[in-house]
Structure 1
Amino acid sequence: MADHHNTPSPQPDLNRNRLPTLFEVLSRRTLPPVDLFSFYIYMRDQQRSVDYLDFWLDVAQHMSLCRHYVRELRRSVLVGTPEPGDRPGSKRSSGLLEGIGDMNHPAAGPSMYASEKERDQDAQMSAYLREDRPGMHESPQSSQDPVPTRPSTRPSPNVSNSSPRNHTTDSNSPAHTVARQDIRASAEKILYTFLLPGAEREITLPGSITQDVTTAIEEFGRDDPEVFDVAKDYVFQAMERDAFPGFLRMKALGNLIPPTLIMRLIVGLIAMFGAFWTAFVLIFLNASRTTRLWLILPFTVGVYTLASYQYSLDPVLALIGLSEYTPFNFSRVREPYVRKLLVRRALMVLAVTLVVDVALCVLFILVPGKRL
């Protein structure tokens, strides 16, 4: 049985005096508005490429399944009670198991971020899973000539998620145990959902990567985590390059989403048109300055909403610590560094708004009237 308490849970870094990295967001080490939930909504609603993020999350979950499965077997070997699925007849398998170590690293990240120890442990784990493939020990062809395990039918998993899935549960097996068939099913689900041509949620990868993964899973029966490494790293770099900078600009430097910004632009232009039209009418009617004081209202509304559009930031919402994630739905800003950034920008936007608003009001209120 997998002991979840032995694996440390990712903890947000409350002392981080910088913007988070994509890996920190994906490994749940950040707080709103730069958390994984917000990034998922950004990829779904703004970037329109949430399938790439789902692929990453599924591969990370596959790695977690493999780690728990190998940890369970290793624990059973060390206490001398092999579990079903362990093949004690293979001395090489037992040796690989004993040499892997505890694998206590909490998150499955891109290969370039792994420490030397993590890389070694993951490589040994993959080697064990390749050695442990069903049929490898019963077949006389064994490891020299693996028997292809192409399934006769391809599953069509229903994965139409609208929010990030909970990837903390490691298996559908009873009592959180991980069976060998869980790992195989997980690898096939990823292949059939995201990688094969015409798949339900096919993502665009270089053809060589897709072909290599397909061949490894369907023809050689592999389901170890290394089979997805190249694809996983490619998707991570694509998100880091194409999506993550825009996410940080929207969430760490602003607190409004595009539909709301468009609405504020429209409201601001209408308010400014109304303010200028009314101001010129009152001037040419020689209205009193007391009457023209009412121009403060449309000018203030217009300048405030246009400034919010220009900076993608509502300063009042920023000062009270709110950030918009879907239209008119707000979350509390809990990431300390982002909160400081937004407060500083809010004060700057308020200062700009005040200067422009005062200048326009003074100009059109104090200018002498002339009746035409």
Structure 2
Amino acid sequence: MADLSSSPSPLPDYNRNRLPTLFEVLSRRTKSPVDLFSFYIYMRDQQRSVDYLDFWLDVAQHMSLCRHYVRELRRSVLVSTPEPDKTSKRSSAILESLGDMSHNHAGPSMFATEKERDQDAQMSAFLREERGGAHDSPQSSNDRRGRPSPNISTPRDLTDSNSPAHTVARQDIRASAEKILYTFLLPGAEREITLPDSITSEVTTAIEEYGRDDPEVFDRAKDYVFQAMERDAFPGFLRMKALGNLIPPTLIMRLILGLVSMFGGFWAAFVLIFLNESRTTRLWLILPFTIGVYFLCSYQYSLDPILALVGYSEFTPFNFSRVREPYVRKLLAERAVVVLGVTLLVDAAICVLFILVPGKRL
């Protein structure tokens, strides 16, 4: 699982009077139950396609790794004269023109501002320029095709011990790019994701034959995965988390309990009627009918109204988290009032019918 807390989180937009977008969720600009952690659980447990989200997060982490490396190198260039073998004049010029690269989120390139796109393009150009004199030959890259480097480490494993000059070393960027390729993209990879052949071939060729490891090499794949999640997974995530507060296993359990309770209520009602029991005795029918109607309404609306009113949402079976996204909390509370109203109306109608109907002993 990718490290969901490895980069700074932008402050949530508390004035957002709408449901969040996928970009805001992936950028960590939302709160539970529509935050990145909840989306990860949804992709893992409901969509069964968490590999796509892990790929996107790993590519975003690779982008952050590259930014950190270039930012540190740029700082060293600005405060001292670079060594000739580290940066060329052209590379130094690119570094000086990059600016502070203060944007921390790594979203789809289509949503980046013009300034961010320019900085990312220049950063990729610098990494290609720097790699130009040191990348492996196509032959040596081909020899490793399909065989991950034994020393590949993920960005969260990097320490100063293996990066003496900077927090992140140049070989760490290469290792990160190869790890993404060998884990998600190559045919037969451990967690292979389905992408168009043209995208997979383009990324594989760029990394293995041309020695590229700059972030732009993953742009098409990352944007394709983002659009796929936005189209196929995110609407269902919003329906489950913003319009309801229960997960499918719990809903099935409530359906079963609701049907059993209603069956017990109807059975007891007819027994008491045909035994000509008093209406006072038949008042006990309120208990099974109320439980049955409540559980069935919860199943129908995917919402437990009492939990919604106290501000809780289920993310795994019998594990609950506070609803902290203001608009979602308001939306769930409004739906909870409606569900409670329906529950009380149906329950009252059934109870009145079976309690007040005249008894007749058979």
Instruction: Report the alpha carbon displacement of residue 109 of structure 1 after superposing the two structures with TM.
Output: 0.6
Q: 1:347 to 1:157 in 2, by over 3 A?
A: farther
Encode CA deviations 1:266-321: one digit per residue, 9 max, x unaligned: 00001111111111121122111111111000000000000000000111111111
State the 4+ residue runs in structure 1 displaced beyond 6 angstroms: 156-159
Deviates more, 1:110-119 or 1:173-182: 173-182
- Listed as ranges, the matches of 1:119-138 within 5 Å are 119-133=117-131, 136-137=132-133
Distance 1:107 1:138 in 2: 29
Instruction: Report the alpha carbon displacement of residue 172 of structure 1 after superposing the two structures with TM.
Output: 3.4
1:325 to 315, 319, 328: 315
Which residue number in structure 1 is paired with residue 45 of structure 2? 45
TM-score if structure 2 supplies the norm length? 0.92
Q: Which has the higher helix share?
A: 2
Paired-residue identity, %: 81
Query: Unaligned 5+ residue runs, structure 2?
Result: 1-6
Secondary structure class of the residue paired with 2:47? coil
Secondary structure class of the residue paired with 1:105? coil
- Listed as ranges, the matches of 1:59-70 within 5 Å are 59-70=59-70
Residues 40 and 53, structure 2, Cα contact 8 Å, conserved in 1 = yes
Instruction: Report the alpha carbon displacement of residue 86 of structure 1 after superposing the two structures with TM.
Output: 2.6
Distance 2:334 2:83 in 1: 58
Deviates more, 1:10-19 or 1:307-316: 10-19
Distance 1:52 1:40 in 2: 10
Which residue number in structure 2 is paired with residue 155 of structure 1? 148
Tell me the matched-pair count.
Answer: 349
Letter in 2 for 1:128: F
2:345 to 327, 332, 355: 355
Which residue number in structure 1 is paired with residue 113 of structure 2? 115
Q: 1:85 to 1:266 in 2, by over 3 A?
A: farther
Instruction: Report the alpha carbon displacement of residue 137 of structure 1 after superposing the two structures with TM.
Output: 3.0
Encode CA deviations 1:315-364: one digit per residue, 9 max, x unaligned: 11111111111100111111111111111111111010000000000011
Does residue 335 of the first structure (1) align with residue 331 of the second (2)?
no
Encode CA deviations 1:29-86: one digit per residue, 9 max, x unaligned: 1111111111111000011000000000000000001101111111111112437973
Residues 73 and 86, structure 1, Cα contact 8 Å, conserved in 2 = no
Encode CA deviations 1:9-30: one digit per residue, 9 max, x unaligned: 4111122111111111111111
Instruction: Report the alpha carbon displacement of residue 100 of structure 1 after superposing the two structures with TM.
Output: 1.4
Query: Unaligned 5+ residue runs, structure 1?
Result: 1-6, 140-145, 160-164
Does residue 238 of the first structure (1) align with residue 207 of the second (2)?
no
| Root-mean-square deviation over aligned CA pairs | 2.2
1:198 to 188, 199, 216: 188
Does residue 255 of the first structure (1) align with residue 281 of the second (2)?
no
Q: 1:60 to 1:186 in 2, by over 3 A?
A: same
Letter in 2 for 1:120: D
Encode CA deviations 1:99-150: one digit per residue, 9 max, x unaligned: 11111112011011001111111111111111110xx3369xxxxxx83251
1:100 to 98, 101, 121: 98
1:287 to 277, 293, 296: 277
Residues 96 and 128, structure 1, Cα contact 8 Å, conserved in 2 = yes
Distance 1:84 1:194 in 2: 37
Which residue number in structure 2 is paired with residue 224 of structure 1? 214
Letter in 1 for 2:148: P
Q: 1:113 to 1:273 in 2, by over 3 A?
A: same
